[in-house]
Homo-oligomer: A and B are copies of this chain.
Amino acid sequence: MALHLTSEQRLDDGVLERAFTLGDIPGLLWTPAAASAPAPLILLGHPPLGLHRMYPRLVERARRAAADGFAAATVELPGSGERPRWAAVEQARADLRRAVQAGEPVSGEIVDALILPLVDRAVPEWQAALDALLSLPGIGGPVGYSGGVVSIGVRLAAVEPRIAAAGLFAGSFVPRAMFEEARRVTIPLHVLLQWDDEGNDRQAALDLFDAFGSRDKSLHAHMGGHTGVPRSAADSAARFFVRHLR
């Protein structure tokens, strides 16, 4: 798929933000103000809420990456933002909402229907984005993957050899099939878990961490609820990428 740069702006800290399309997929790319050598790239994962809604948090993560000398990029997830609705996933989301509102446990069927098609479709798109981004001047390897839907991170870490390190957020529903894929992950992992996130299955997160095949993996659990990751945790994740991508 061809990548077309569609607009650019210089942020106040000198970071260059460029919007692009990859085929019909919107994306954003941030590069440090000044770089003498090609910058390692961090792919910024995000939940399927649309790039526009996620922009404030994405740009904050991108600025931090740029301050550490890294480029950062993200693409819209299938069925999110301005991309066409996706009936199967809309249905699974409606089923999920219904179960949560009724106070029922979320069944494995709902989780599978919600997550597995998203992983199957998003991962090749992120790989295509990698192909295109790494061919741009000023961007090199190694590549990191950070955050977002944890199952997308697990699949990418398992199948994409250009990804050298991943920071994962163990905070969303995990299909049982992903635990088997987790065993095949061997790259360094930095896993965040919000311990008191009531919408999260803590035991599943611990089981997923245990399943990873990586010899270098660490789990960092904090308080503060789903969106309350403390500043110190973001700093620690940033240092993880500095250790592994430089």
Q: Flag if B239 contacts A243 (CB, 8 Å).
A: no
Contact (A210, B195) CB under 8 Å given A218-B222, A222-B218: yes
Taking A232-B243, A236-B236 as contacts, is the C-beta distance between A220 and B223 under 8 angstroms?
A: no
Contacts of A233 in B (CB 8 A): 218
Tell me the A225-246 residues at the B interface (CB within 8 Å).
230, 232-233, 235-236, 239-240, 243
Q: Mark A5-33, 1 if CB is under 8 A from B, else 0.
A: 00000000000000000000000000000
Name the interface size band of chain A: 20 to 34
Q: How many copies does the complex hold?
A: 2
Q: Are A215 and B219 in contact (CB under 8 A)?
A: no
Cα A235 to Cα B232 with chains together (Å): 12
| A209→B221 contact, CB < 8 A | yes
Q: Does A160 contact B (CB under 8 A)?
A: no
Contact of A232 among B195, B206, B239 (CB under 8 A): B239
CA distance A215 to B230 in the complex (A): 12
The residue among A210, A220, A235 with the most chain B CB atoms within 10 A of its own CB is A220
What are 9 contact pairs spanning A and B, CB under 8 A?
A195-B209, A195-B217, A206-B206, A216-B223, A217-B223, A218-B220, A218-B222, A220-B221, A232-B239
| Beyond A206-B206, A232-B243, 15 extra complex contacts between A and B, CB < 8 Å | A195-B217, A195-B219, A209-B221, A217-B223, A218-B222, A218-B223, A218-B230, A218-B232, A218-B233, A219-B219, A219-B221, A220-B220, A220-B221, A221-B221, A235-B239
